[in-house]
Amino acid sequence: MSLKIAVIGAGGVGGYFGGRLAAAGHEVSLVARGEHLEALRRDGLTVTSVAGDFTVADARATDDTAEIGEVDFVLLGVKTWQLEPAIAALKPLIGSETAVITTQNGVDAPQQVADVVGREAVLPGAVEVIAFLDGPGRIRQIGGGKLTFAEWDNQPSARTESLRSALQDSGLTAVLARDVWTALWEKFLALASIGAIGTLTNSPYGALRARPAIRQLLEEAMTEVYQVGRAKGVQLEESVVAKEIAFIDQLPPEGTSSLQRDILAGRPSELEAWTGAVVRIGRETNTPTPVNNLLYQLAAAHQA
């Protein structure tokens, strides 16, 4: 069955997932702007990928969601600090069965979207991919391609099933989470901690994890995120910290987080949605976060 899909923010995540779905025959509209939009209209979307290169020559692209109308799914592919105007543009896309899939790292995006369109229209999602905009109209993917998602209440539904099969049939990996909030927080716990520590030390994963004192700091930062998540009611196992340290141990030694790359390059970053959110939710739930407080203040000063 061909699905009607709108992608708001056709960058690394939106361009790669949207491109694969379009190449598989789904009716995908890319919401983009500037030179990227011009190139998409003129030349289509070109994807260079370790899973096989492809071009969507007749890519549908616009800067106006009203031109698209109601869709089955919206894939929200903007950065966390770009969410507000992107969410404001959702209205013309939403019908009674439409689902908006959040892909942002961090744990705030689903609620931010739900505040505008209602919980029943949101599928919280966590993405594993390494992909980026490689010039106007061009996406480069160098690893991964997996979306873990579920309905807000984790119950199975016809639309999560149709999304799962559409993703799988497009050459992507789709996982229906047993508890999508646990999945989001597990990723958040690892990423927020390594992101801030990597930024402050300007070091790649391999150098960070080789230093015992930094491993200890990482473990302390993650333990606070675990405690904040538990205080918020998220089903996290105590073993999650060891599990995520093991995850970091198998990342490429030369790798860095997007937070680190963005802050050190002087670009806007997702700091507020990562370590900033740990501190904020800690405060809201009366959970002490001294390590993350310090990491946040230092990284914010760096960014400023």
Task: Name which of residues 28 to 87 contact ligand NAP (CB under 6 A).
Answer: 31-34, 36, 77-80, 82, 85-86
129 near ligand NAP, rule: CB under 6 A:
yes
- Binding ligand NAP by CB under 6 A: which of 130, 251, 294, 298? 130
Neighbouring CB atoms inside 10 A of 175's CB total 18
Which of 257, 287 has the CB closer to ligand NAP? 257
DSSP 265: T
State the Cα–Cα distance between residues 90 and 101, nearest whole angstrom. Answer: 12
Residue 110 binding ligand NAP, by CB under 6 A: no
192 binds ligand NAP (CB under 6 A): no
Minimum CB separation of residue 139 from ligand NAP in Å reads 8
Least Å distance, CB 203 to ligand NAP, is 20
* Rounded least distance, CB 76 to ligand NAP, Å: 8
H/E segment holding residue 261? helix 258-264
Question: 244, 186 in Cβ contact below 8 A?
Answer: yes
Chain mean position to CA 1? 26
Instruction: Say what the alpha-carbon torsion angle 187, 188, 190, 191 is, to the nearest 10 degrees.
Output: 110
What's the distance, CA 304 to chain centroid? 24
Q: Which tokens is 70 given?
A: 């109601």
Alpha-carbon distance of 6 to 27, in angstroms, equals 8
Query: What are the DSSP E strand ranges found in 155-279?
Result: 173-176
Residue 216 C-beta: closest distance to ligand NAP, Å: 26
User: Nearest distance from residue 103's CB to ligand NAP, in Å?
Assistant: 5
**Per CB under 6 A, which of residues 200..229 are in contact with ligand NAP?**
none
Q: Is 251 in the site for ligand NAP (CB under 6 A)?
A: no
Per the CB < 8 A criterion, the answer to whether 87 and 121 are in contact is no
- Contact characters 78-107, ligand NAP, x per CB under 6 A: xxx-x--xx----------------xxx--
Of 78 and 184, CB closest to ligand NAP: 78
Residue nearest to ligand NAP (CB): 11
- Cα dist from 110 to 34, 104, 114, 125, whole Å: 27, 9, 6, 8
Binding-site ranges for ligand NAP (CB under 6 A): 8-14, 31-34, 36, 77-80, 82, 85-86, 103-105, 127, 129-133, 258, 270
